[in-house]
Amino acid sequence: MTETPRTPLSLAAVEAIARAAHADQTDKAGQPYTEHLRAVAEGVRARGGDADQIAAAWLHDAVEDDALSERWLEEAALSPRTKDIVRAVTKRADEPPEAYAGRILATDGALLVKTADLAHNADPARLAALDETTRKRLTEKYARMRALLGLVDE
């Protein structure tokens, strides 16, 4: 059976879904998690990302954080490219960083979304709100991922 193509959700609708899905979450510094999603979406937009990438930025942590299910993603009125990007940037349990980076690099549009995500995660002002041990651990984690992705100038 062939699926009838549907008009993809608007960016405003994707944002509303992402905000609702993550409404009760906070980041490691206790800030509303939706602010991270907004920052990543804006980072993608500022870096010249297209609508598929901006939609994926809003949804980049939804499946990983169990805010939305894999089934929801599969059935959502999103472009195949948006779905592919979300799947690419979704970390899998016990997945080596090299495999994760390889999937991002192999997926059209995913590197820009992950670049914006890493940029916000590594924002010195955001990291400053964390305790020293967590700040050091995350700084090293983000630097390693940036190196695996070949990001040196961002």
In a domain, 4, yes or no: no
In this prediction, residue 102 has a pLDDT band, given cuts at 50, 70 and 90, of very high
Domain that holds residue 94: 11-149
pTM: 0.93
In a domain, 71, yes or no: yes
Give the number of other Cβ atoms within 10 Å of residue 62's Cβ. Answer: 23
Partner residues linked to 26 by β-bridges: 32
Please state the separation of Cα 79 from the chain's center in Å: 16
CATH, residue 76: 1.10.3210.10
CA distance 142 to 149: 11
In the structure encoding, which two tokens stand for residue 41, read together?
């979406």
CA distance 30 to 117: 18
In the structure encoding, which two tokens stand for residue 118, read together?
């890493």
Contact 117, 49 (CB under 8 A): no
Domain count, the chain: 1
4-19: pLDDT as tens digits:
567 889 999 999 999 9
27-79: pLDDT as tens digits:
988 899 999 999 999 999 999 999 999 999 999 999 999 999 999 999 999 99
In a domain, 6, yes or no: no
CA distance 149 to 49: 18
